Amino acid sequence: MAYISDTQSGLIDRLRGVYADLAERAARAKVYRTTFTELNALSGRELADLGIHRSEIKRIAYEAAHTK
């Protein structure tokens, strides 16, 4: 009986880990999408005022999503 409880407990812990990983990935994807969309909507002049070239938008969005 103890073996079954340990096995179920281990499975539940792994499922919680998978769920936490998926939630973190979804949150990062949302930050990336939001940042990319907002920066991409700016005009060339507005980007220049911020010191950003249009080719840097993907990198900036990635850094925003993956920097803690």
Q: Where are the domains of the chain?
A: 25-68
Q: What does the longest C-alpha to C-alpha distance in the chain come to?
A: 69
Contact by Cβ (8 Å): 8, 26: no
Quote the pLDDT of residue 3. 54
Quote the pLDDT of residue 6. 62
What CA–CA distance (Å, rounded) separates 14 from 51? 44
Q: How far apart are the first and last CA of the chain?
A: 43
What CA–CA distance (Å, rounded) separates 35 from 65? 8
- pLDDT tens digits for 14-61? 999 999 999 999 999 999 999 999 999 999 999 999 999 999 999 999
What CA–CA distance (Å, rounded) separates 21 from 62? 18
